Structure 1
């Protein structure tokens, strides 16, 4: 990258065009021939150090305490024997400050005169400016000392537009995701439009989050008639109104004496969460006019239909909470209570959409699919960060996908990541995973959630030919909320193409979490089946669908043919207010609970139900061979492939059994759309290698290959 050289601190010129200055009002681009100008250097020094050296105080303390550490400053050559600092401008500014202190005989700690006069730096070539930008980006976009979001976005834009790098090259070089890259570019483009407007001189760095929220909010983008290709709004009238709302306004009003005086009105909107509130009534002209007249989002919200929606969400949340309480104390129910429950049940049933709707009821809210039609499923999945999976890729995906590998190689985590991506911004899907994993009852405490969720979740994929992303972070909210017993906030953002869907859950100790969202979307029907997790409510819904779509007999026929010839039917019944699956067998006078039959029967029944439930969607099956006798593996794997085709379900299933893997290629079912992945850990990272079904079949038949 460069060669070490020894130079005096005075020969190092601070970079006046450093990206950290771009958002500063005093920034002016400086040509190379003027960089060494003393006046320019003084201005740059002042920008870097800040008032009373507040921007470099941490470095001053470090240098005094530790001396110069092994983190060389990178420079490139300038005329007249000077050197431009490419990386390490803050460190250089701190050393310049301390050198002045040394010359004035002030305390500089462990530093000596030689540290300033014989400073080792690294001279890098000026032939490849991209390397310089990437070096800065690594330090200040993904590193600890981050630039402001505006400056980060500007560097990303320059790498693409000035230096011709592709989006993927920038993502790989800087260690950022594609949806973060595009979000930065989209936000920066809208900021530049604002800067070119009549209000442009009012832009400040802390406004970035407001513009970011505007350009990712689906309703706001529709109102602005956002053109994603041009990264620009096409409704200039609405754009102008929006710029007025986020800016100060100067107006002239008459006082009591009839004299005119200038009045400055503060912006209506100053916070990103206010954009989310605005989006709830942006299509209500009367409410928008009220906001402009009163300069109050609260008054406009109260006038709009959004109030009704808010009250509905609050009511739904209360229903969920109180129903859970009723379950916990159900032993106190009396006969007169049942008639009241029946009346409530009928009222709730009337709220559920008809069966031909693409809305489903889950976790107390209506969740709609993003796609009206699904012609293809996942074609690629990139798990950037989930539990122990980092940069784990599936780039060639079939209808049925075998995930093989030894213990602790991330198989289950991979299935969970796919399940979460399928549920987009439904935070309840994340909570449900851990509720079932930890064998909690109907509720899981906020303190437990806080303990298990520490690291950001970041997943990219391509589904139905469309780029998708999911980002879940665990933050301390900056919103104005009741902070008593507050723990943290789960922030979830899902993107499908360029539509963004957000939700948040505020966690509190000793009180119910608060879930906030405008709308919840999912990619498709999805479920996760595991022999180690009990999901009775999911199976109830799946059973109801099997009756409606009339595929239950197919499952019973398979069980009767390959497992137990005496089983005639399996029905869901209610006994003592508890729903149970009861089995009618030809050798028993009374029906028996399904739990009294072998685990193999239960496992096949569950997977069969879920295959139909996930029609046109995704089913993840953990340890698919668990409780399945080895003699049943060949017909059972064929049954899975057959149902996947019939119901158009993409299946991801994990196993550590060679017999199970072999069964898929020995069951005589066509393997054109079968894929097998082997998960292994190499130098602390989980990687996946794949074989297509027909190739796997050939290798199993010829050399009895073991891909695990």
Structure 2
């Protein structure tokens, strides 16, 4: 295909009425080249591309008004009489035509000038090959960045094969896609075409593509509609008709009190592709499917199917109960082979007992404070043994303490030491740490917990100017407890001055662990936050505390001033027992889940929320700079120090970022209560924790740009 550069007036360009962007529309009709320049055809095409109130091209309108019409991407055309049909660049030309009318009527066109409309730079394509044209569009809009909707992509792929007789391998090679994507697109399009030929076909919308795609990709539903992979056709007409009803609106007629006919629109059962997967779980249970159709509720069908399964289970257990009595009555006749058979049955019955019965439930913190008031939190810590840390001293602890060091040096373990010490003999705190270490989303299994904890923990500290020690061990207990299915006992002993506190957690294989203590105390409020651990229960409690004490406004103000000025509030809402944080913005009509915002905002919200919740206590922050842009670090570290001072919180944090360390000494906040520690090996290859006081660190950073990592 040959090409040459030309320039033409905007009025000599005509839009492609067969553009793949809108061939899936119900009102689309194939237009011949001879009719393409017709005014009515062009106006309809322009309306298709612009959308209602120019909604489809607002991005281009804004760009053109601001930057002018930039000749960056080629606009490809072919001669059509005395005019030129746009092959590639229809959105840009449509936008330019709209702004040309605005210009002529004195409207706002920004930085556009008359020459932008009179001299449009083009690339004229000669010897037009329709296949090559489709391939070019496919590379732009299927393999490239300017993606079409899935149904348009599928239509182009199908046209290359059906209309122009290309082989699958050719299409894959030319478009840079794999055969799986090609066949999946063609199957889905064929199923859509089948729907369009049905009584509901006029309801098809492009966003329904994933519903059809999921149906054909889910084996149980695929078989249920009788999908033929050779003919690309669903052959079970009855089930196909039912499926089409499920995804469509229906009109129902009845009579009102005066005998007049009244219509009622019934909404579809299926509106999202996820619901297709839910239905596939019980699609072969006809009773459950009918229940769903009657109630027009997927949940009803699913629940009904579960009820059938439950009844079958009860029936099976009833039979086992009655038949086992028969076996007892004739047990004198058992032989060796039958004993072996019974042993096999016993193993199967044991498997019916869920492992969750051996789970460790983590209860809410019911411990009371050891001290009525605190003059000073931790001033030093000594670690005899905790994971990889042995015989390690950390001295001269300040209000804000930064820990740096290479990977796998034990920084996170060090934070855990501070947290455990603050919680004394509250074994829930230890279980909580093990839960997140093992990446358990739910409760921890006692068997796993027993195997994973096999090293004694011995740590100590000076807290509130009083020596404190903590020891955690795993041993068989000599206490008088139920020993059936007994595994082991996790014991914790905490000493504060002359007072000793004990707790014991008895672990069992097939029942809930037994936690026993006479008194449970904590040194202070303590929290632990990490980008790799998420504790929704803790955040809910912290949020309630901040709201009750009117601390939340201070956090929202920092986020508004430094991250997003449109944010008005962040609230905790609960829908169907699921609690989520949602954000109210003056730019949006509806609230958004906080996860729709950046990771940096979420991280800052979590850390600052836990900072105020840790009032008169401590907070351990792992990888504080994770997901937070370096340009925000100076303001954020300043805010951390401000909150720490205002709410009397001792902060322990880790970082790998030199920028984060620099931010603490450059944020204009007093460094009198700042300390930095480096975990490193000495000449004897022993792990030590060296420190630099805040003012000393600041002088070194400013004078020689020191990096203590």
Larger Rg over CA atoms: 2
**TM-score between both structures, scaled by the size of structure 2:** 0.49
